[in-house]
Every structure is written in C-alpha cells, then in structure tokens.
Structure 1
Amino acid sequence: MTTPTDTASPSPDVAPARAQADEAWAAPTAGGALDATVEVPGSKSLTNRYLVLAALADGPGRLRGALRSRDTELMARALGALGTQLTSAGADGDWDVAPAPLRGPATIDCGLAGTVMRFLPAVAALATGPIAFDGDDGARVRPMAPVLTALGALGVTVTAAGEPGRLPFTIVGRGRVRGGAVDVDASGSSQFVSGLLLAAARFDQGLTVRHVGSTLPSLPHIDMTVQVLRDAGVEVDDSRPAIWRVAPGPIAARDVRVEPDLSNAGPFLAAALVAGGTVRVPGWPTVTTQPGALLPAILERMGASTRLDGDVLAVTGTGVVHGIDLDLRAAGELAPTIAALAALADSPTRLRGIAHLRGHETDRLAALAAEISRLGGQVEQTSDGLVITPRSLRAGTVRTYQDHRMATAGALLGLRVPGVLVENVATTAKTLPDFPGLWHGMLGALGRP
C-alpha cells in the first residue's frame, strides 16, 4: 500500500496516460456558477458483478452500457484467462459474454482492483488447474485473508507465494467446490462476503456465509450482490442479520443494462456546492442498491438543493458549504468527496464509521488528512474517521497515492483554490475514463487552468 509519506508512481497498466501521470494536472478553478449536464459512465461495482455472473451463467449474455475502465478491463481479461469468451458489441461499451468451462493454468492480474482480487478466488476454485493471482505493489498489502481462509475451510487449496493472506497466491481448482457454511470477518471489507456469494450458487451445496466481525462496512454493496443474484434467478436468504444463504442452482443468462456510477457522479454533483449553480446527472435510478444513492440527502445537509426530474438528478448550490456530522459506514467510498467539501465548508465536519478506508487503494484517512493539511487545512484522524476544521487553503500539489478518489477530491478543492495541482490524475482511469475531459467539460467556459 502506498502511504501518505510516499511519492506515488503511475500504475504500469495505464501506459496511454503516461504523460498525464508524469506531469501534475492543473486543477481548474471555477470563474462563476455552473450550469452543466454530465453523462457519468456505468457503475464499476455493478459491471464487475454482472461480468462474474455472466461468466458463471447457463448461457450467453450481454452487458449494455458497461463501464470500460482499468478495473473492469482487468476483470474481463481475468475471466477471459479462465476460459470465458468476451467480445465488444456496439459503440456503448457493451460486452457479449459466452460462458465456457473454467480452466487453468492461468494468471490473474488484479491491478489495484479489490473486486478482481476478492471476487475471483471463489470463481477460480470452480476451475480446473492452478490459477495464480498477483497485482500492483499497492495491492499486495491489501487484506485477503478472510476470503482465502473461507475457501480453505471449504476444501479449496490455496498456496501463498508471499505473506499469507496477501497477494500473490495460487488457487488450485478441482472443477467443483462442495460448499456448506463458513464464518467470515468482513470488518475490513464487504467484498469478502460478496466474493463468496457471487460464486456460491455453483457450489455443490450452495453456501451459508456468517459475518463474525465487530462491524460490517458498506452493507449496501452486499445488498447489491444479493439483488444481482436474485435478478439472475439465484435463491438468496438474507432474512437473518449478517447471515446469507445461497442455494445451489443455475445462474440465468441475462441481457442487462448497467446503471451510471453514482459514486463517480459525486465530485461533479459536489462541484455545484463549491462553485454555485447547477449540475445535472442523467440516468439516476429511482431504486438502486448503489451506496452513491445516499449522495442527494448528504449534499442537501451540506447546503444543496436537489431535484429528480424523471431520471435526471439536478444539484444546485450557492457556493456556501455547511459542515456536517455524518456516519458514512454504509458508503465509505463517498468519504474523499465529502472530506473535500468539508475542507471548504463554513463549520467543522466529523466523518464516522470509516475505519475500513485504511485498507483501500491507500490508507484514505491518512491520505486525506495529509493532503488537506498540505494545502493549509486542519484535519485530525479519529479511531474511525476524520474531524475536518475549515481553514484558509493555499496553492499546492495534492498527492494521490495511486488512488482515483484522492485525485477527484483534489480536483474538487481546486475549484475554489487557485494553483492546486493533482499528481497522477491518470489514476482516475481506474473507474472513470477521461476524468479531466469530463471535468473541463462540466466547467466549460468557466474553467481556467
């Protein structure tokens, strides 16, 4: 994991953006109130869940409007390495997916994608042969033990190639997993539960997963997993708190459309609070399991007004941002956006319930504290979050630690603070292709570098 005392380097898999990564990006300031509509690409969380289920389905399927970013391309290449046939279809990022018997030997490059490293071990256990997993240097320190221990308890052979419970490792698949019941401590990430549930219908006995940790962050992401399974005809019982039972059975092939990524919409919608004016995002669902659905209510508490007109969410701000006391355990991925807003607010903010962010692409709590403080802000880390006291901010370089959400937080600060540079803005390609182009497009004639 890159820490806030290190200098981040561009990811080796973002070669087309190398020049962008090597030279800090000048975050544009806003010269007036915004009036913009931003088309946000598909949800990374849904795209990668749909890809896994399509690879395990009982026939060919199609994903429409799928996100095409580093994380989703890594997932597609990994499933292809296991034998699944994926072909591009149409001009909107669609994928046709044809399942095939899963087999090794194969090597899975996880990059920095938590969904790849945590969703695919259970899939690899259904293959025949050895499946080696590795990723970026930052991925090698992200925790993996809960899902690997659970697979070991189910009789799957897991061989560590480095520190146990971390990348790299090898899954030796036998073409089937007996299933049954496992206890999992998912305090560090809801992905440990989702990764087991997604493949569980293909286990001989199905699977019961019991969470045994003290906290369970990002529960909406588990709800998302349960919903996509049910939509594919899988029987899931989640009637008991922190216990999920997936019955064995087929996974139906589907033709599905991916919702826009509501969390990636966050920085654009938040820009309306910072600069004033209105930013609209079309395609906003009325019912969704995405944690980003919490954004409108949070932004309203921080001074915005919101309106959903059909499927277009409009957020309007005056340029005044209010501090907030907020438990973000259900949507920790929004923390960098909210922290950037808090640094520009008229009163202090306390963010709670996000201790698990220390195990993301970087230690996000330490990184946010370091970078907001670097620009003159005041941030204290608590046991489970941050306290942000607004101060007059100054020009400077925001380091990103190979974390896409740190880059978008830096862009948000730059709307108000002239002279903000964002290091390695190309890391946003992890989940949001051409973020700089979308950002400048939102500002239009108001943006000046």
Structure 2
Amino acid sequence: MTNAVTAEPPRAGAWAAPYARTPVHAELSLPGSKSLTNRALVLASLASGPSVVRRALRSRDTSLMAGALAALGADIDTSGDDWTVTPAAFVGDARVDCGLAGTVTRFVPPIAGLARGEVAFDGDPHMRNRPVGEVLSALRALGVRIDGDRLPFVVHGSGAVPGGQVVLDASGSSQFVSALLLAGARFDRGVDVLHDGKPVPSQPHIEMTVAILRSHGVEVDDAEPDRWRVAPGPIAPVDLTIEPDLSNAAPFLALAAVTGGSVTVRDWPKATTQAGDALRDLLARMGCTVDLTDRGLTVTGPGTISGLDADLHDVGELTPVVAALCALADGPSYLRGIGHIRGHETDRLAALATELTALGADVVEHADGLELRPGRLHAGLFHAYADHRMAHAGAVLGAAVEGVLVDDVDATSKTFPDFPRVWASALGVS
C-alpha cells in the first residue's frame, strides 16, 4: 500500500543531524512527561482546591493546555519548575488555541461543557484534519450542545453536564476515552464509557488516565473490558511529581544501538503506565543490553542491530524511532498494528515510508504497518512534517549516516524544547 504524503520545501537552515564517528557514551536527565503533565493540569483545574504539579514539562503542548484552562478561568502559575493550579468556576465566551495538541483538542471540550457560555476551539491547519468527532458526538449524547464535528468548533457550555452512559468507537485514539474519563466525576451522573469497535490503541494511556484519576480520589471501575465507569464526586487536590517522558528517551537510547555505545537515562521509574517503558523490551529484542537500576535505565548497543517483528498497537508513538532503527538493522523487520498513527501529527506511516525510502531504505507501506528490509542508506534531506517524533527519527538516522539534514528540528519543541542542544551534547558536539 502506498499513501503518498506531500513534504513541504525544506525550511531555510535545515538542521545538520550530528554524525557519530565513535560510540556514544552519555548519561542524561529528561524533562517531564507531556501526557502526565497535561492530565495533571486538567484534573487540577477540576479539583476542589489548589494543586501542585512538580517537574511539569514546559513545552508547546503543555503551554497550550495551561493557556486553554486559564482561558476557562483556572489560575495556573507556570513561572517556576513546580506549577500551581487554583481551580475556579469555568467561564465561557472564551477561545482555545489547540495548536497541534491532540490532548488539548480532545481533553478540554468536556471541561468547556461545564463552563457558562460559548467556547470556540481552533488550532494549527493540520490539527483540523485529526479526528475529534467521536469525542464531540459523545459529549452531545451526554447533554452538551456543540456546533461542528472537527476544528474549528464551538461548545455551548451550560454550567453542567448531565453525563451518564455513552457508546463510542475509540479505535482511532485512546484519547477519546481519556477525554471523557478526566472530566466525568464532575458530570451530574458521572460517566459510563463503552467502546464499540476495533481494539483501542495505546491502552497504556488509558491506564495512565485511570491511575491519575485514582490518585485524586476519583472512583473508577475498569474491571470490564472496553468499559470504564467514573462515579460522580469531588476531585481531590494533589501534590504530584511528573515522571520523565519515557517516549522522549527513544532517540537517546537508540543512540546506543546505532553507535555501539552506552546511554543512561536517569530516574527511569520502576513501575509506570507510560508507553515508553516498552523500549526496554523492544531494544533488547534488537540485540541491545538493557539494565534498569536505581540510577536509571542503561542501554548498551550491539555490534549490529537485529531486525524486529513487533505489534506496536499499544505503543504507536514509538514507531518513528523504532522504524529508523529497523532501517539500519541487518535483517528484515515488520512493524504492525499501527494503522491509527496515520491520524497523529501527520500520517506517520506514509511519512516514514516516504522519507526512509528517500534515504535509500527498502520500505513497503501496509495499511497497518511497515515492512523494512536491509538497504544502503545515504545522505539526504529528511522531512519532519512538523512532527516531533519524525524529527527524532531523522536525528537517529543522522547519527548513523553522515550528511542527513532534518528540515524542521524545531518540531521537537512540542514535547522537548531543548532537544537539539541536549542531542548535540550527548554526541559530544558543541
């Protein structure tokens, strides 16, 4: 299957991805998780008192979330490393800029339903193509009036949401479920979400939502498959420390694999709901040595990278970096179960097939995955499509293949604003 994507012309001053001439040996700390930070901000704005979000990620996506919640009335102090959130009555007649943040586009409309007045949503041009209709349809079924089925749309808040049971198809994104669960305790009858469709992708993100709800004292019943029930009631304020973003660890740990070096990511949690924790198993299967200690996670690269046959359905966000590694492997690879990532920041399957092929990789694009065979990669321009994970993949390829340029490394600011500097430091480049 070929799903062509159109790459924009390279921006002036494309980034020359640093090439690793020797094995990389590095130890680093990563900024906080975007997924956890934005969930924490949402629940803190819905809580019964002030909360503290420690080690919050400061990035475009989290700034957009803070701005959206502030537009609805919450007082969010982001001046320090630890952010304070003081909830207030939600107000309408507000505008929400979603940027390219799926969490803002999907998590904030249920809160807007609790406001009084009109709340207008819009975002970056590509965000207008990303799916949100299931969330909006579900909110209508729960008693919220909404104009539109995709960005831009308007939520007419009445100050309350009746809530109750709703059936939706969350096969396009786990965020459809999380959006309703996060606000559900504030609905008059709570919320009872039933999924009807193909398997929900990125299940760890729903587990993350359930875990953080319970940390706020919210009663959640997830005992039945494809059903989640949130009881109505108060959301307790908390003092929460955000874990490092494990998905952002992917390109750095991949450095160890492609250079035969060793990279340690400090403070890797022993137990977590983050999808990035799957890197431990995936990299081990590709021949790396993986060691989790109290200090952090250390990955040591092999002499050559082994091919990988893996179902990434639950951890689709790791696909770009894993695909880059597969393009450098000495055997064939098949990455499957990831048709849903066509609806991410870009159509990631088409984008990866296009860009990897342009650099000499042997790639076949399928409806739900990628098939890769060993090829001779060469220098060239790698388009990021304004997608942070694609830019990460380009950086990994550039570490292994001299002369790779990434047209938009600034896309990494979505979840890792200081990425170019930290990347260069890990490679010993000034």
TM-score normalised by structure 2 residue count = 0.98
- The answer as to 2:267 corresponding to 1:283 is yes
Q: Provide the C-alpha distance between the structure 1 equivalents of 2:345 and 2:417, rounded to a whole number of angstroms.
A: 18
C-alpha displacement at 1:61, in angstroms?
A: 0.6
Q: Provide the C-alpha distance between the structure 2 equivalents of 1:38 and 1:115, rounded to a whole number of angstroms.
A: 27
**Cα 1:311–1:194, aligned 2, differ >3 Å: closer, same or farther?**
farther
The residue that corresponds to 1:18 in the other structure is none
The residue that corresponds to 1:14 in the other structure is none
The residue that corresponds to 2:285 in the other structure is 301
The residue that corresponds to 2:393 in the other structure is 409
The residue that corresponds to 2:427 in the other structure is 443
- The answer as to 2:39 corresponding to 1:49 is yes
- The code of the aligned residue for 1:353 comes to G
Of residues 259-268 and 317-326 in structure 1, the stretch that sits farther from structure 2 once superposed is 317-326
- The answer as to 2:216 corresponding to 1:248 is no
Q: Provide the C-alpha distance between the structure 1 equivalents of 2:221 and 2:132, rounded to a whole number of angstroms.
A: 25
Q: Given the alignment, which residue of 257, 280, 283 partners 1:273?
A: 257
Number of aligned positions between the proteins: 428
Superposed counterparts of 1:29-428, under 5 Å:
29-88=19-78, 90=80, 93-160=81-148, 165-428=149-412
C-alpha displacement at 1:319, in angstroms?
A: 4.2
TM-score normalised by structure 1 residue count = 0.94
Q: Provide the C-alpha distance between the structure 2 equivalents of 1:395 and 1:317, rounded to a whole number of angstroms.
A: 23
Deviations 1:393-420 (A, max 9, x none): 0110000111011001000001111110
C-alpha displacement at 1:8, in angstroms?
A: 6.5
Q: Provide the C-alpha distance between the structure 2 equivalents of 1:251 and 1:88, rounded to a whole number of angstroms.
A: 21
C-alpha displacement at 1:22, in angstroms?
A: 3.5
The residue that corresponds to 1:13 in the other structure is none
Per the alignment, in what secondary structure is the counterpart of residue 109 of structure 2? Answer: helix
Q: Provide the C-alpha distance between the structure 1 equivalents of 2:9 and 2:79, rounded to a whole number of angstroms.
A: 36
C-alpha displacement at 1:89, in angstroms?
A: 5.1
Q: Provide the C-alpha distance between the structure 1 equivalents of 2:374 and 2:47, rounded to a whole number of angstroms.
A: 51
Instruction: Please say if residues 348 and 387 of structure 1, whose CA atoms lie closer than 8 Å, have aligned partners that are also in contact.
Output: yes
Q: Provide the C-alpha distance between the structure 2 equivalents of 1:413 and 1:103, rounded to a whole number of angstroms.
A: 47
Per the alignment, in what secondary structure is the counterpart of residue 247 of structure 2? Answer: coil
Per the alignment, in what secondary structure is the counterpart of residue 297 of structure 2? Answer: strand
Moved over 3 A (4+): none
CA RMSD of aligned residues (A): 1.3
Instruction: Please say if residues 289 and 302 of structure 2, whose CA atoms lie closer than 8 Å, have aligned partners that are also in contact.
Output: no
Q: Provide the C-alpha distance between the structure 1 equivalents of 2:106 and 2:318, rounded to a whole number of angstroms.
A: 21
Q: Provide the C-alpha distance between the structure 2 equivalents of 1:4 and 1:339, rounded to a whole number of angstroms.
A: 17
Deviations 1:235-288 (A, max 9, x none): 000000000000000111011000000000011001100011110001100010
**Cα 1:439–1:319, aligned 2, differ >3 Å: closer, same or farther?**
farther
Per the alignment, in what secondary structure is the counterpart of residue 264 of structure 1? Answer: helix
C-alpha displacement at 1:311, in angstroms?
A: 4.0
The residue that corresponds to 2:8 in the other structure is 7
Identity in percent: 57
Per the alignment, in what secondary structure is the counterpart of residue 239 of structure 1? Answer: coil
- The code of the aligned residue for 1:373 comes to T
